[in-house]
Homo-oligomer: A and B are copies of this chain.
């Protein structure tokens, strides 16, 4: 059989600073990838043009005819109405409001498209072939620059009535500095354990006597330092783990979930995963909560996007797109 008989789908991960694409066959196997910076091209039309360049590149690289494309699954870094295909609001990095992303994709490429929040896509990815494979109830927790949660209940993403379930960056736990939620600013929890928050906490706590690390260290450098025994780094790791464990514990009480998959550049650091598990083990004697690292890493969103695209290809291949 030719590739066009098999067909292909495209997964798109729209980030605050990068755009990533993957071309996959109808089994979900990735054939090629493409990456671009989104610096200077962040409105929706510019992003669509970037996606067009990426798709052209992927088709050429794999000698795939355009007619073999069956569907697109795209993740956006913001609250997304999956039913209507609209990105309701993103962070300031993109600054989108009510962008009809699915319609734009379908118009541009004349194939079915599906859109979702990027963290939900990552949760779908981990569910389909990652750390939560076959687990019907779990929470994917992305900690990178910011924080977000993708919730899976009864083997389906739970998105909430306003599409913003899992906004735990604003959670109020013991040890946070601030209650108030101000529009456009990081949440109370996020401002302490998101990537930027950890850097700010480090700078607040740093003294030349207390550590061998620099004041402008990254979260990864700080957690690496903690593993080497650096005292100040260990203190900040402990603080971060306690705050994160409190948030995980609270989510587990509400949802009755016991598996938490940590993703994102900060969330997957082995020191944070282990320290968080250790705190939770002290709190929960009867019902253990399990904290594991994402096994798909940055691929999770793309694999979730492929799953969405495959569903879109199957369920809506008879629709016309304009």
Residues of A whose CB lies within 8 Å of any CB of B are 136-137, 149, 151, 153, 158-168, 170-176, 179-183, 246, 249-251, 253-258, 282-287
Contact = CB atoms under 8 A, between A and B. Distances in A.
Contacts of A255: 160, 165, 254
B284 A253 contact: no
B162 A256 contact: yes
A97 to B, nearest CB: 13
A185 to B, nearest CB: 11
A246 B174 CA distance: 11
Count the copies: 2
A258 B174 CA distance: 23
Given A174-B176, A250-B254, A251-B254, 7 more contacts: A137-B160, A164-B256, A172-B173, A173-B173, A173-B174, A182-B285, A183-B285
Contact of A183 (B136, B151, B251, B286): B286
B256 A165 contact: yes
Contact of A254 (B137, B162, B165, B287): B165
Contacts of A285: 181-183
Contacts of A167: 253, 256
B283 A163 contact: no
Given A136-B161, A174-B173, A166 B283 contact: no
Nearest to A242: B179
Contacts of A136: 161
